[in-house]
Amino acid sequence: MPRKKKSRKKPSTLKSRKRVTKRKPTKKAVPKRAVRKEVAWQAPEFPFRHKGIGWWVLFILILATLFTCAYFLASWWMIVFIAFTVLIILMHSFRHPRTILCKLDYKGMKIGARFFEWSELQSFWFIPQTSEPYVMLYLKTTHRMLPVISIEVSWKEIDIVFKFLVKKIPIEERGEPFFDKVGRFLKL
């Protein structure tokens, strides 16, 4: 008698079905680039400029000339005004700046104890300082009494600050403000 061939079919049990079904490949979580929620750096309160002997000699000569002119013109109020101005310049020239914390976040910008919302800031621009380890950041505001704010940013932090600011306010091509030029020239 001829032999019957055995069927090679697998039994259809639950276990065998689980093995046969292909698993869908799982998507691995690709780490997203970290988005900075805030940027902080330290900067001096104002730029300090060292005054040499030549600056002091010139200052005393100008001061003596102004006092002499005011005395011969008998302008006593001018003498009082010159004395008051000299007192302010002397106090400011020997004062070193404090280091303040500057911070950018989603609400606005904090400079020391003062906070500016993004709606108060109109634009920004950078001016590199020759032979200095920093760049000046200028912010144009909506305030009448404080139309432009200047802050020092080190070369290391300039890219991070730029990337954060450009998302919030427009960049503007402007030069150094007039009073900053005068202050830098006179070393005030």
Q: What average pLDDT values come out for the chain (188 residues) when binned by 10 residues? A: 57 52 55 68 80 85 90 88 89 84 90 89 85 82 86 86 88 80 71
Could you tell me if 150 and 177 are in contact, meaning their C-beta atoms sit under 8 angstroms apart?
yes
A 10 A CB-CB count for 102 gives: 19
Structure confidence at residue 97 (pLDDT): 81
For the chain, the structural domain boundaries read: 39-44+52-186
- Show Cβ contacts of residue 169 under 8 Å, excluding neighbours closer than 6 positions: 118, 121, 122, 123, 124, 139
DSSP character for 120? Answer: G
Q: What is the pLDDT of residues 6-60, one digit of tens each?
A: 555 555 555 555 555 555 655 555 455 555 688 888 888 877 777 888 888 888 8
Q: Which residues pair with 171 in a beta bridge?
A: 124
Region 39-44+52-186: CATH code: 2.30.29.30
